[in-house]
Amino acid sequence: MSNSLIIVESPTKVKTIKKYLGPDFDVRACMGHVKDLPKSTLGIDMDHDFEPTYQVIEAKKKTLSELKKAAKTARHIYLAPDPDREGEAIAWHIAQEVGVKGKTIQRVLFNDLTKNTILEAISHPLELDFNKYEAQQTRRILDRLVGYQISPLLWEKVKRGLSAGRVQSVAVRMVCDREEEIRRFVSEEYWNITASLEGAQPPPFDARLIRIDKKKAKVSDETQAANLLEKLKISPFLVSRVEKKEMKRSPSPPFTTSKLQQEASRKLSFSAKKTMSLAQKLYEGIELGPEGSVGLITYMRTDSFRIAEEALREARAYIQENYDPDYLPAKARVFKNTGTAQDAHEAIRPSSMAYKPQDIKAYLSNDQFRLYQLIWNRFMASQMNPALFDQTTIDVDAANCTFRAQGSVMKFAGYTIVYTEGKEENGNGEDTEFGKILPAVREGETLNLLALKPEQKFTQPLPRFTEATLVRELEEKGIGRPSTYAAILTTIQEREYVRLDKGRFHPTDLGEVVTELLVKNFPRVMDIAFTAILETQLDMIEAGKMKRLETLNEFYRPFAEELKKAKTDMRNIKRQETPTDRICEKCNSPMVIKWGRNGEFLACSNYPACKNTQNFTRGENGELVQPEPQMVETGHTCEKCRRPLVVKQGKFGPFLGCSGYPECKNIVNIQKDENGVITPVKEEVSDIDCENCGRPMIVKRGKFGPFLGCSGYPECKTIVRINKGKDGALKPQVVEVTDTLCDKCGKPMAVKPGRYGKFLGCTGYPECRGIKRYKAPKDDAHQSS
């Protein structure tokens, strides 16, 4: 019998912790949250101080039962979910459910899963942190109030299935605002002028125009550039200043969550979600052969640059042993946190210097290795000496202009021997001068002009956000916290409010419409500064400097007014029709712009008498542009009318349709070979005959997978669902006929699979289409749960 019970979140941690604590400890996993607000209702008691109503998650009832049983026999109970707000909430909910009278439940925090950390945490257990739990509850209640009360409005005004979120909607707004900036941006012409020069000593070098008449150079057009070139061609070029100085470049601090996500995006092309998933596994433990499971990094949700003294000593010892003495600073580097950092956890670092990336590469997947190596290198570099450069600046005067050349030559590699930070491109960035060697020149020396090179340029708008730059923007604006960045980016894409195109976020039509409605009707919720203030208030609740009820009351009173007003004033996109000057080619009625599930489209104003619709796009000035119909011929002909088959786009992807449509409605499924060549999918004739007309059944593919359809279609519309056996043979699904009779024709009803689960369908289908709700027998229901 184990003396102590330790409850962690993930089963991956169980092996790692058991290895260090031995048989006296029973280590179990709760698998994340065990209680949550109900899905079908708001779950917040508005009349009693916003009291939340938590329910045990159905899938966790068995887990909780096992934890309760284990708690009864344990002398000590330790709760060790992740050391953040979500982990604290999990700990509180477990304590409420498994608490045993007369037994103390204590909290332990593992910043990394090394032996020393685990033993130290068990030796010094803590009390459950009520303030941290209150901060999590406040966030959860705020998110529920916003999501569950605005989302139904969007269902009513735009379309069903939409959602609003207190933080996600602000992130979408950032993407939409950037897109609007890009649309409004007016590009301006400018010219760069570079002089190729030669002094008494080699090599030749280039200098760029920086000043005209002692003011910042601004050459706006070709005429101005040409006039300037004419003056410069006949002017001497004199060296007016030579400056040489030593420059230092210090290393970046170790990773925080956002910095890890940004750098993994830039250097490894990982999404934020993928980065966090890999980091979670590295933290929880990797099987390292005979050594067993080892946690390789510290906790990966943090906004602090702090490093434990023991880790600093270990890193410095490693550098001293493996690098020349010049690379080790006189004392450990300490990095200052930002004002908003919670400093609850260390920065992300290797849990031990004993596990070099190359030494354990065989035990890691390729992506795990690359991320671990990135974390290792960044941490090691952070404790090394700066890189030193000799930087030379040469200013050259000609006519009324000043040209400048800069060159930097590395003198000492310093931390760059291990790691250099990736750079994000910007709209108007210039090439780096690093590594450029300049000649020895003296002030007053006359240089030979070899060439003048004018280059036309145009100013560029700010680039669209990448995952890395959006995470950086969220962090800088104070939106969300380390634990939420990846979830925010994932959610706004899954909701189809934004899309990633070539690594950059574009708002969808849906995202822009929803954002416009929310900004107009809920200005406080959508205000970036206000959202950041709420995050600060959550931090204050965690620090015990503010109360949950105070924050909720302050937020909800004005929000309730906005909600009430929005129910009547919010524009109804569903019913909105914008007249156009287009005429319906079928009935000559005016066409109007409507909003559908895939955005704007043209529809006949004579609906429902005329159901004609058309797609369109908008030009640069917002004008309607009718897409040209694309009739891509394939070389295949229709087997029914011998006209060419063309590629068409349907709800479930491309297919071949007869060019004689609508007279001929023949369609053919297609497939692409490895060279992208389109070929029709040959019909696979089965050895099963149609039970209604005796003709062979053909394997067809539909919305829910393959099925058998009668080769006599459309005269015979019999279909049969099929399964494939282990030998690949097709087998009709066995139809379970019940004792229930159809209300329409009196025939027996059969159990059939549907989009939303099983239902009863008449065996007389398709002549009779009677259906009923299917109620599973008790035994069946028990097994399915």
> 358 near 364, Cβ under 8 Å?
no
Q: In sequence order, which residues have a C-beta less than 8 Å from that of residue 723 and are 6 or more positions away?
A: 730, 731, 732, 733
297 closest CA partner among 338, 351, 334? 351
Q: Please say if 299 is a catalytic residue.
A: yes
* Coil, helix or strand at residue 414: helix
> 517 near 154, Cβ under 8 Å?
yes
CB atoms within 10 A of CB 385: 21
Q: In sequence order, which residues have a C-beta less than 8 Å from that of residue 285 and are 6 or more positions away?
A: 12, 13, 15, 16, 113, 293, 294, 295, 296
* Coil, helix or strand at residue 360: helix
Indicate the burial class of 101 (C-beta count within 10 angstroms; 0-12, 13-18, 19 or more). Answer: exposed
CB atoms within 10 A of CB 608: 6
Distances (CA, A) of 700 to 564, 707, 720, 747: 52, 5, 10, 28
If you count them, how many residues does the chain have?
785
* Whole-number Å distance between alpha carbons of 671 and 683: 12
The residue annotated as part of the active site, out of 20, 133, 190, 299, is 299
616 closest CA partner among 509, 500, 497? 509
Q: Would you put residue 68 in left (φ > 0), alpha (ψ -120 to 50) or beta?
A: alpha
* Whole-number Å distance between alpha carbons of 505 and 474: 14
Q: Which long-range contacts (CB under 8 A, 24 or more apart) does 672-681 make?
A: 678/634, 678/647, 678/654, 680/636, 680/645, 680/656
Pairing of strands 205-212, 401-412: antiparallel
Distances (CA, A) of 266 to 422, 473, 498, 502, 720: 6, 15, 20, 13, 51
Provide the annotated active-site residues. 299
